[in-house]
């Protein structure tokens, strides 16, 4: 009887662990994300914290693993602007902004440029003001962003990434689709319940 009780406890513990792991997996939001920098004819992948020069060019790539609302926000030290909000379907192609033919250009007016990419399985009420108005004061946006980052924070022990395939082709904002090798090397990022990926650039005036 004692042995049977111990075995039952072990079985329940193991079952509980796998149930928890499955539940955690269901709540994980994953996406392939990257920013391409073109500077002086050289093209490279942006790091989370990087340095840009005035006139440098940027292109943003986002491909969620599952259906997701994708928000892309640009902010400097004065204002945050919603560049895009789209409900991206799993069968959709990689989102490229502004397009495969165009770039965002660093104008050098601010010493800091930040791009925040948010993927969520549901529309976020915290983003309603930005969606409605198109922009918010920087200080107000920082509070919203900080709350979302904390909400989506994932345990480092759960951060091992398994690959997933890109569905479809690269999809541009505002022009016809084309192939792009950069999309094939995008890094996978994860969040718990939602995913927030932030790129912070210090701008060096030239």
pLDDT at 66 over 80: yes
Which backbone phi and psi does 187 adopt, to 5 degrees?
Answer: -85, 145
Q: How do residues 100-153 score in pLDDT, each as one tens digit? A: 999 999 999 999 999 999 999 999 999 999 999 999 999 999 999 999 999 999
pLDDT for residue 72: 97
pLDDT for residue 11: 36
C-beta neighbour count of 173 within 10 angstroms = 16
H-state helical runs in 54-154: 128-133, 138-151
Q: How do residues 143-188 score in pLDDT, each as one tens digit? A: 999 999 999 997 655 555 566 555 444 444 443 344 578 888 999 9
The ranges assigned to domains in the chain are: 30-204
pTM over 0.75, yes/no = yes
The more confident residue out of 93 and 108 is 108
Residue-averaged pLDDT of the chain:
81
Q: How do residues 1-60 score in pLDDT, each as one tens digit? A: 443 443 333 333 333 333 333 334 458 999 999 999 999 989 999 999 999 999 999 999
Query: Exposed/middle/buried for 64, CB within 10 Å: 0-12, 13-18, 19+?
Result: buried
Q: Strand (E) positions, the chain?
A: 28-39, 42-45, 49-53, 57-64, 68-75, 79-88, 94-97, 104-105, 112-120, 135-137, 170-172, 187-192, 195-204
């Amino acid at each position: 009887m004692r042995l049977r009780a111990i075995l039952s406890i072990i079985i329940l513990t193991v079952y509980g662990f796998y149930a928890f792991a499955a539940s955690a997996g269901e709540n994980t939001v994953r996406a392939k994300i990257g920013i391409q920098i073109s500077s002086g004819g050289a093209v490279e992948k942006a790091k989370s914290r990087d340095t840009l020069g005035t006139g440098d060019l940027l292109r943003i790539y986002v491909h969620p693993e599952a259906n997701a609302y994708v928000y892309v926000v640009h902010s400097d030290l004065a204002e945050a602007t919603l560049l895009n909000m789209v409900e991206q379907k799993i069968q959709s192609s990689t989102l490229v902004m502004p397009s495969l033919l165009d770039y965002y250009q660093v104008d050098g007016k601010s010493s800091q440029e930040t791009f925040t990419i948010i993927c969520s399985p549901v529309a976020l009420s915290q983003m309603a003001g930005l969606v409605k108005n198109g922009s918010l004061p920087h200080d107000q946006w920082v509070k919203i962003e900080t709350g979302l980052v904390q909400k989506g924070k994932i345990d480092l022990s759960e951060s091992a990434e398994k690959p997933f395939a890109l569905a479809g082709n690269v999809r541009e904002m505002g022009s016809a689709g084309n192939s792009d090798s950069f999309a094939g090397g995008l890094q996978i990022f994860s969040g718990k319940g939602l995913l927030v990926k932030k790129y912070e650039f210090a701008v060096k005036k030239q």
